[in-house]
Amino acid sequence: MSPDDIETISDRAPLIPERTRTLSTHVPPGTAVEDDLGLTGCAGSCCCHPKSFCHRLTALILMCLLGFGSYFCFDNPGALQREVKDAMDISTYQFANLYAWYSWPNVILPVIGGYLMDSVLGIRLGTNIFAVFIILGQILFALGAFLLNYPLMQVGRFVFGIGGESLAVAQNTYAVSWFKGKELNMVFGFQLSIARLGSSVNFWVMGDIYAYFAQFFNDYTALGWTLLLAGSTCIMSFVCSLILGCMDKRAERLLHKTKTETGEVVRASDVLTFPPTFWLLSIVCLAYYVAIFPFISLGQVFFIKKYGFEAKSANFITGLIYLISAPASPVLGFLIDKTARNVSYVFISIVATLIGHAFLAFTMVNPYWPVVFMGVAYSLLASALWPIAALIIPEYQLGTAYGLMQAIQNMGLALITMLSGVIVDKMGYLWLETFFIFWLVIALIATILIWLIDFSGTGYLNMSVPQRDAYDEKLRQKAEQDARNAARRKAVMRPRTANELRNRYLCRIGAVLPPHLGHAGLVMGYPGDIIATSPPTTA
């Protein structure tokens, strides 16, 4: 399978590792025409020529920064949990709602977002619009703090959610449009790392920024200024989106590129044909991520309360999962590329995360160890889980499959994050950790069932790379054989022409076809007849 054949997928935190993106052949990338463009002067220089390294490097940087603002601001509440709760005088449940409101629009957007981007808005306009949404969302979020109006903050998060997830899809689509082959894997790797870095940087700096503003303002005004300042990263994303749009338009005009699509258009009819493994995979996706993202959202106060951390250290350890994921995801993606056995890796990831949560729940060991453990496991799971969908769903249905998985995941996140807030308020963090362990056990059971179903069948999902190659080759040969047989059967079933009837007659009587028919020396036969393997001796 050629790496040029790309499927783009978007999700919030589990950015799809590069392998996933190379597994499908659904959407052809924008292909450049390989003729000489004849650009002269500045337009043809290293920086401006659309095919030049510098120009494409600029595009890559812009693509990475395009998502930075969204990822940076997504976890603003998590990094300022205590400050938000104190300033707005809200419970943990109300705080958790900020994340739920982000997820709610993304229960629908994965279903219609692809269609909107491909058929209505187009990639460039779509990207700009979604970038405006995240700016608007962040401004409303900050405004809610300034006005001490918590519902307005929630509206802000909802608007931010509309933009954030779709912007990730746009980011991927741009990458497909500008890069191909092995370059593309690297580009996705960069995007993934910058996204994770954005989340980590948020956890590092937001506390200090708030502390700075708190010197001059009261708590909620300081919160408003902090969020507004964080919103500058969204403006940066918007500027990147504008520049990238211009560059893309120019490149399209000069290179006569074909239109690039997200490939994420969901078809309802596809859903009925999905195998049980897919639904189990969706359960794993839901059950695993609800044990990670709400934990990160509510982590700051947990580390302060249970381990006596200062707010800064608590933020650092909370963001550590993302920080580890930045370098680990490409490495582990490479590992899985080379070894396959996806189901085993998913199983190991879930068990490792479960152990991490169990240590956080039932021990007082240094929490850095379980969190590092969970960070690696989280990266491993993202690399192993998402490609499984591409292995079990036909390529033409992959857009629907990924859209559905994202929708299910977001619905789970919205509900579970809210419930997590209630649990913290009413029952405490021990029950919250128990709740996460419960979901991980659900994920583990679903994984076992996937493995069982797979084992009962071909075992393809858990094969090693050589086994998978051999199986694919065998399958290819069988397909060829089947095609040949089908062709033969078709030939047998076809009513014979007059010529064929005559030849059959001649064959039966042992006559040799006349040379002018172009079959000199060939004794005609049909399946089951004895066919001559050497030319006849008679002229």
Q: Select from 324, 334, 399 the least CA-distant residue to 169.
A: 399
Q: Which one, 322 or 451, has the nearer CB to another protein? A: 451
Q: Which one, 290 or 524, has the nearer CB to another protein? A: 290
* Identified binder of another protein from the candidate list 451, 503, 512, 523, rule CB under 8 A: 451
Neighbours of 250 (CB within 10 A): 14
Tracing tokens 């693509």 back to the chain, one arrives at: 63
> Is residue 365 at the binding interface for another protein, with CB under 8 A as the rule?
no
Q: Are 40 and 17 in contact (CB under 8 A)?
A: no
3-state secondary structure of 401: helix
Options 134-142, 165-173, 362-370, 478-486: segment touching another protein (CB under 8 A): 362-370
Q: Which one, 290 or 444, has the nearer CB to another protein? A: 444
Options 12-20, 258-266, 429-437, 530-538: segment touching another protein (CB under 8 A): 429-437
Please, which of residues 290-329 interact with another protein by CB under 8 A? Answer: 301, 305-306, 308
The residues near 197 (Cβ < 8 Å, ≥ 6 apart) are 68, 322, 323, 326
∠ Cα 75 19 449 (to 5°): 85
Site string for another protein, 407-426 (x = CB under 8 A): -----------------xxx
Rounded to the nearest angstrom, the gap between the alpha carbon of residue 317 and the centroid of all alpha carbons in its chain is 25
Q: Cα separations (Å) of 312 from 371, 503, 512?
A: 16, 90, 94
> Is residue 351 at the binding interface for another protein, with CB under 8 A as the rule?
yes
* Identified binder of another protein from the candidate list 20, 24, 92, 237, rule CB under 8 A: 92
Options 163-171, 350-358, 472-480, 516-524: segment touching another protein (CB under 8 A): 350-358
Terminal CA-CA length for the chain: 50
- The whole-angstrom separation of Cα 49 and Cα 378 is 40
Can you read off the two tokens belonging to residue 509? 């009587």
Neighbours of 253 (CB within 10 A): 10
Q: What are the beta bridge partners of residue 27? A: 6
* Identified binder of another protein from the candidate list 455, 469, 478, 511, rule CB under 8 A: 455
Residues in the chain: 539
* Identified binder of another protein from the candidate list 44, 86, 125, 475, rule CB under 8 A: 86
Q: Is the dihedral of CA 45, 51, 57, 60 positive or negative?
A: positive
Q: Which one, 45 or 339, has the nearer CB to another protein? A: 339
Q: What are the beta bridge partners of residue 6? A: 27
Q: Which one, 85 or 250, has the nearer CB to another protein? A: 85
Please, which of residues 192-251 interact with another protein by CB under 8 A? Answer: none
Options 110-118, 268-276, 450-458, 492-500: segment touching another protein (CB under 8 A): 450-458
Which residues of the chain form contacts with another protein (CB under 8 A)?
A: 85-86, 89-92, 95, 301, 305-306, 308, 344, 347, 351, 354-355, 358, 361-364, 424-431, 434, 437-438, 441, 444-445, 448-449, 451-452, 455-456
